[in-house]
Structure 1
Amino acid sequence: MIQLQHLTKRYGDALAVDDLSFNIEPGHVTGFLGPNGSGKSTTMRMILGLDAPTSGQALINGRRYTSISKPMHEVGALLDANAVHGGRSAYNHLLCLARTNGIGPARVAEVLEQVGLAGVARRRVRGFSLGMKQRLGIASALLGDPDVLMFDEPVNGLDPDGVRWIRDLMRSLAAQGRTILLSSHLMSEMALTAERIVIIGRGRLIAEATVTELTARYPSLEDAYLALTAGSLEYGAAR
C-alpha cells in the first residue's frame, strides 16, 4: 500500500503539494490525474524519496522509501524513460540496477523477455526509440518483482500494440494483488485501464473515486476530469 499523510512540499514561496492525504490500495490500477503543474510529479518523487517533503510523509508498506534496504524488491517505478545511460546495452543497464539490490542475471533476462526486448538486449540504449526506452523502464520497475509499482506516462512513444500491451500488463499486475499507481494525461486509456481515480489540482486533492462512480455522474471520464479540474488549471485557455 502507498499512504500519503498530510504531504506538503514548498519550493520557496511556491506551494507545490498542499496537505495531500490519500491511500493507494492493492488489487487495483489507480489512475493519478491532474493538470500540468498540479503536483503529480512532485508527489511521486516524494513517495520515492527523490524529494523531501516540507511536512507530512509518504509511506510504502508503512515505511519511508529511504528506510527500505533493498527497495527494488518492494517498489518499482518508471518516472522518466530517458533517464538511462545511452552507452550501455539494455542488458547491462538492467544488470547494474539488479546488482545494487542483490538480484541475479537470470531475472534480468526474464524481464527483458517479459517486455519484449530480449532480441535487442545487447544493443546500446542510445539507438532505442522512445517506445523501446519505455519498455526498458518498465523492465527496470519489474526487476525486483515488487508488490508496489508506479508509472508516469508509460505509454508515451508506444504504438497501438504497445499501448494495449501496457494496458494488459497493468491489469494483470493488479489482478495479482499488487498496488499500481498510474499517472497519465490520456483519458481514454485511463478509462480502459484504471479502476480507481485520484485527481489533484494545485497540489490539493480534488476527487477520489472509482471510474464507475465518475462515469455515472458524467458522460465520460474525460468529462468528469474537465469538470472537476476546471478551477485548477495552471494556464487558462486562449480566447
Structure 2
Amino acid sequence: MVRRAGGPASRILYRVIELLHLTKRYGDTLAVDDLSFKVEPGHVTGFLGPNGAGKSTTMRLILGLDAPTSGRALVNGRRYASLTKPMREVGALLDAGAVHGGRSAYHHLLCLALTNDIGPARVAEVLELVGLSGVARKRVGGFSLGMKQRLGIASALLGDPGVLMFDEPVNGLDPDGVRWIRGLMRSLAAEGRTVLLSSHLMSEMALTAECIVIVGRGKLVAEATVAELTARYPSLEEAYLALTAESVQYGAAR
C-alpha cells in the first residue's frame, strides 16, 4: 500500500489516460501517427513496441514535455499543462538519470515536493518505501543506476497520484529489485490507480501487466489483455514478435 499514513482511501482519484488521434511530427519524421487508446484504472497496462515505435514520444506528449502536432493527450480529462498541482494527479519516471548529481536524494525529492505543496513527511515516507532511507543524505551523483531508478520511482509516488507512468523502470535493478518493482506495480493497480508501464522485457511484462497496448511506427498495432494474446499465441513474446514483424525500424523516434 502506498497511501499516506492515516490518509483516507478517498484521497486518491482513480482516473484514466486518454489519447485522441494523437499525432507528432519532427520535421519529416512522423513519430506518432493518429494514435488513440485509453488506459483504465485497476490494472497495469503494458506499453510495447520496437525501437522507433514512438513509445517515449507518446509518454512525453502525455506529460506535456512535447506539444502534439494534432490530437490530444488527456489525464483526468485535461491536458497535463492545465493541472494546477500535477504531481498530485500524475507521477512519472521517464529518465532516472535526469537528476542533479550534487543534491542528496532527500533534497532532490524535497525540491520537487515544495513545487506541489507536499510536505517533508511525505519525502521521508517515499524514501522508506523505495528502500533509500539509509542513503537519503548521500549525493545522487554517487548512486548506481538501480538506486537512481528507485529514486525516480520515489519521485513518481511523491504526490500520491492516481495516475502513474513508468518507462523501463527495472533498468539497473538486480533480481530482488525487479521482483520488488513487479510487486509495486501490481499493488498500485490493486489500489485502483492507473498504471502505464513501458518495457522491452516480455517476461516481466507477462508477469506484471494485465492489459497490453502495442504500437509500431507510431500507430496502434494491438490493444488487448495478456490473456487474449496468450490464447492466440504461445506466449506474450510470440504475440509481440508476430504483431510487430512489419514495424521494426531504426533511426526513428523512440
- The TM-score bracket by the shorter chain reads over 0.9
2 CA distance for matches of 1:177 and 1:4?
20
2 CA distance for matches of 1:122 and 1:15?
44
Deviations along 1:15-55, one digit per CA (max 9) or x if unpaired, are 00000000000001000000000000000000000000000
1:231 aligns with 2:246: yes
Structure 1 residue 111, shift from structure 2 partner: 0.2
SS in 2 for 1:16: strand
Which of 21, 37, 47 lines up with 2:36 in the alignment?
21
1:135 aligns with 2:150: yes
1:2 aligns with 2:17: yes
SS in 2 for 1:231: coil
Which of 36, 47, 67 lines up with 1:52 in the alignment?
67
1:202 aligns with 2:223: no
SS in 1 for 2:23: strand
Which of 76, 101, 105 lines up with 2:120 in the alignment?
105
Which of 46, 67, 73 lines up with 1:31 in the alignment?
46
SS in 1 for 2:224: strand
Between the two proteins, what is the percent identity of the paired residues? 85
2 CA distance for matches of 1:46 and 1:157?
26
Gaps of 5+ in 1: none
Structure 1 residue 177, shift from structure 2 partner: 0.2
Which residue of the partner structure matches residue 110 of structure 2? Answer: 95
Q: How many residues align?
A: 235
Structure 1 residue 213, shift from structure 2 partner: 0.3
TM (norm. structure 1) is 0.98
Runs of 4+ in 1 over 3 A off after TM superposition: none
TM (norm. structure 2) is 0.92
Residue type of the alignment partner of 1:138: I
1:176 aligns with 2:176: no
1:214 aligns with 2:226: no
Structure 1 residue 13, shift from structure 2 partner: 1.2
Gaps of 5+ in 2: 1-15
Residue type of the alignment partner of 1:26: P
CA RMSD of aligned residues (A): 0.4
1 CA distance for matches of 2:117 and 2:97?
24
1:40 aligns with 2:55: yes
2 CA distance for matches of 1:12 and 1:97?
33
